[in-house]
Amino acid sequence: MNDLLPPNDPIDALGEAYELLLEKSLQNAHKSGAFVHDMIEKSRDEILALNKFSEDEIVKLAGFLKRDLIDAARYLGKTENALSSKYHSGEITGLGTLECDQCGEKVHFQKPSKIPACAKCNGTVFHRQKF
């Protein structure tokens, strides 16, 4: 695993950690869901061992990553519940577009980032935009 660079911005550092968790998880995505879950936990422990983040931050990142992977799997599987997870301001999300539940404003993410409140209505709950 690559060492994380000292962050200038804590949110950028969390985004970097999210990317590392995602990278490790996707390397084994062709395997079963239980295996991927175990890989996320192992990667989480490796990042925690770097002593750059608290256990609470890493637990949250792992949860965000699992949420995003579930949404991706639902989309790829084209199930009825595709893209139904809720995203909240203050959480970290990966690439893509979120839509405000309150007003429909779209927020685009080019890299893992902290979800802001909606710029249009100050809403705090989002869902992933349907493709």
In total, how many domains does the chain have? 2
Is residue 2 situated within a structural domain? Answer: no
**Who wins on pLDDT, 56 or 71?**
56
Q: Are 94 and 61 in contact (CB under 8 A)?
A: no
Residues 69 and 94 occupy one common structural domain: no
Domain, as residue range, for 124: 86-128
Phi and psi at residue 29, in whole multiples of 5°? -65, -20
Q: Does residue 58 sit in the same domain as residue 96?
A: no
pLDDT tens digits, one per residue of 11-38: 677 777 777 776 766 665 555 566 667 7
Asked if residue 84 lies in contact with residue 44, where contact means CB atoms within 8 angstroms, the answer is no
Torsion of CA 89, 40, 45, 115, to 10 degrees: -10
0.75 exceeded by the pTM?
no
Q: Which residue has the higher pLDDT, 4 or 110?
A: 110
Q: Per the domain annotation, does 50 fall within a domain?
A: yes
15 and 64 inside one domain: yes
**Segment 73-107, tens digit of pLDDT:** 666 655 444 446 789 999 988 878 899 999 999 99
CA distance 86 to 98: 10
49 part of a folded domain = yes
